[in-house]
């Protein structure tokens, strides 16, 4: 963990950030190995430009630092909210930050913590430290990639077991619930990347569909978007299946999306702009006449969060680097009919993009998998 702090400090200097405040979440855990939940009692990690750390937290959580060897100074408060401002002030003064602006993660820092930090830093500004922290976490080391690889194995095993039991008349909700059970039984951590998406028939035309009481019936497409966690690292996969005789246009769409997925995975390599992956995948769909039905970016970074840097969209000039991990997930969505998405998790290697996922990508008939 100390090496990660040492990696952060020159980035803070490059981005002109004299200090950082972090809520509980992936970045705090990445830097310290500590796990806290966001709750009504604020917890904030402060990091100075010299690499000193102070942690403001409720007294009942202090035991989590007994075995921590990073030299984090703790400043606790009790159940009386009036004791909180003093803890924040003592932490700020300990790190000699009263005269400095402070970097925060704009998508994570809550008003609750900002209120106390603002009281301890009157007249100072808050800086968005997200680009700095994205640079810190974007490139994964071998141990991180292996955890993601295991998260993929868990997810794939869980889906196969779920599909064995699927039957006509089952609802999307029932199928999603069975998938959650199978994910946990296969070894996923209890905090899944997101609630699984299971969409039948016309519901598959909604990229972020929520499972409903819609029942599986002949002629349906079945879209499943799911993932697992392994020691905090995540997988995120989508596969689409057929049930019975499906509209020929949807089968055609499945072939186009498969070719798009293949083109995207083949296009990525170190030194290439992230946007090139999107353009490669999108061109296949556009040339087939379905460009307007591909309504989202081709992918997103993946690691301790289900969505993180790098984001794979046309126009993103960020250069891919060895160890970056992200999804390739083109899709075509036809309102009222159905949609197909094929999503793989990849890592940038010397030879291009290595796919961590290896489940068949073509539109397989569910009948071939049920009871297998």
For residue 309, give the H/E element and its range: strand 308-312
Q: What is the mean pLDDT of the chain?
A: 96
Q: Which residues lie below 8 Å from residue 312, measured CB to CB, with a gap of 6+?
A: 264, 274, 275, 277, 278, 297, 298, 299, 300, 326, 327, 328
C-alpha 332/C-alpha 7 separation (Å) is: 41
User: How many percent of the chain have pLDDT more than 90?
Assistant: 94
- Domain boundaries in the chain? 2-137, 142-368
DSSP per residue, 317-372? -PBP-TTBEEEE--EEEETTTEEEE-BEEEEEETTEEEES--S--S-EEGGGTTT-
* H helical segments located in the chain: 2-14, 26-32, 84-94, 111-120, 130-137, 142-165, 172-185, 248-267, 274-287
For 195-205, how does the pLDDT look when each residue is reduced to its tens digit (9 = 90+)? 999 999 999 99
Write down the pLDDT at residue 287.
Answer: 98
Q: Which residues lie below 8 Å from residue 160, measured CB to CB, with a gap of 6+?
A: 369, 372
Write down the pLDDT at residue 103.
Answer: 96
Q: Of 272, 279, 355, give the one whose Cα is nearest residue 320.
A: 272
Q: Structure pTM?
A: 0.94
Q: Are residues 52 and 70 in contact, defined by beta-carbon separation less than 8 angstroms?
A: no
Write down the pLDDT at residue 334.
Answer: 98
Q: Which of 124-128, 220-224, 234-238 has the lowest mean pLDDT?
A: 124-128
Q: Report, as an integer, the average pLDDT of 147-154.
A: 98
Cβ-based burial of 143 (10 A; exposed 0-12, middle 13-18, buried ≥19): exposed
Does residue 113 register a pLDDT over 90?
Answer: yes
Write down the pLDDT at residue 372.
Answer: 56
Task: Supply φ then ψ for residue 89, to 5 degrees.
Answer: -65, -45
Identify the band that residue 223 occupies on the pLDDT scale cut at 50, 70 and 90.
Answer: very high
For 233-257, how does the pLDDT look when each residue is reduced to its tens digit (9 = 90+)? 999 999 999 999 999 999 999 999 9
Q: Which residues lie below 8 Å from residue 116, measured CB to CB, with a gap of 6+?
A: 42, 44, 56, 84, 85, 88
Q: Are residues 277 and 328 in contact, defined by beta-carbon separation less than 8 angstroms?
A: yes
For 253-309, how does the pLDDT look when each residue is reduced to its tens digit (9 = 90+)? 999 999 999 999 999 999 999 999 999 999 999 999 999 999 999 999 999 999 999
Torsion of CA 290, 292, 294, 300, to 10 degrees: 140
For 45-104, how does the pLDDT look when each residue is reduced to its tens digit (9 = 90+)? 999 999 999 999 999 999 999 888 889 999 999 999 999 999 999 999 999 987 778 999
Q: Report, as an integer, the average pLDDT of 138-156.
A: 98
Does residue 25 register a pLDDT over 90?
Answer: yes
Report whether CATH 3.30.70.60 matches the domain 142-368.
no
For 302-313, how does the pLDDT look when each residue is reduced to its tens digit (9 = 90+)? 999 999 999 999
Write down the pLDDT at residue 67.
Answer: 80
Q: Are residues 224 and 238 in contact, defined by beta-carbon separation less than 8 angstroms?
A: yes
Topology classification of domain 2-137: Creatine Amidinohydrolase; Chain A, domain 1 (3.40.350)
Which residue do the tokens 């405040």 mark?
A: 21
Identify the band that residue 169 occupies on the pLDDT scale cut at 50, 70 and 90.
Answer: very high
User: How many percent of the chain have pLDDT more than 70?
Assistant: 99
Q: CA angle 227-24-346, nearest 5°?
A: 30
Q: Report, as an integer, the average pLDDT of 107-117.
A: 96
Give me Rg for the CA atoms of the chain: 23
């Amino acid at each position: 963990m100390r090496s990660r702090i040492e990696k952060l400090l020159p980035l803070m200097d490059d981005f002109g950030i004299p200090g950082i405040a972090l809520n509980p979440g992936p970045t705090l855990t990445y830097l310290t190995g500590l796990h806290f939940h966001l709750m009504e009692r604020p917890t904030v990690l402060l990091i100075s430009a010299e690499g000193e750390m102070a942690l403001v937290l409720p007294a009942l959580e202090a035991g989590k630092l007994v075995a921590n060897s990073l030299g984090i100074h703790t400043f606790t408060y009790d159940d009386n909210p009036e004791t909180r401002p003093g803890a924040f002030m003592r932490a700020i003064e300990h790190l000699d930050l009263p005269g400095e602006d402070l970097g925060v993660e704009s998508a994570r820092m809550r008003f609750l913590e900002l209120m106390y930090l603002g009281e301890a830093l009157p007249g100072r500004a808050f800086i968005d430290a997200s680009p700095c922290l994205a640079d810190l976490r974007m490139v994964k080391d071998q141990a991180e990639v292996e955890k993601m690889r295991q998260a993929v194995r868990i997810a794939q095993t869980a889906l196969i077991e779920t599909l064995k039991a699927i039957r006509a008349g089952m609802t999307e909700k029932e199928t999603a619930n069975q998938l959650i059970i199978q994910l946990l039984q296969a070894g996923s951590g209890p905090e899944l990347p997101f609630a699984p998406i299971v969409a039948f028939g016309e519901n598959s035309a909604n990229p972020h569909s929520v499972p409903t009481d819609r029942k599986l019936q002949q002629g349906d497409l079945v879209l499943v978007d799911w993932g697992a966690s392994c020691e905090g690292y995540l997988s995120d996969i989508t596969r689409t299946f057929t049930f019975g005789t499906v509209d020929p246009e949807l089968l055609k769409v499945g072939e186009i999306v498969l070719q798009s997925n293949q083109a995207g995975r083949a296009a990525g390599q170190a030194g290439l702009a992230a946007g090139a992956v999107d353009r490669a995948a999108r061109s296949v769909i556009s040339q087939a006449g379905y460009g307007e039905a591909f309504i989202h970016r081709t992918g997103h970074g993946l690691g301790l969060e289900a969505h993180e840097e790098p984001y794979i969209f046309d126009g993103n000039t960020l250069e891919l680097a060895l160890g970056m991990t992200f999804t390739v997930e083109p899709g075509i969505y036809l309102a009222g009919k159905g949609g197909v998405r094929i999503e793989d998790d990849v890592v940038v290697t010397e030879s291009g993009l290595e796919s961590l996922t290896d489940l068949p990508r073509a539109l397989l008939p569910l009948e071939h998998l049920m009871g297998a």
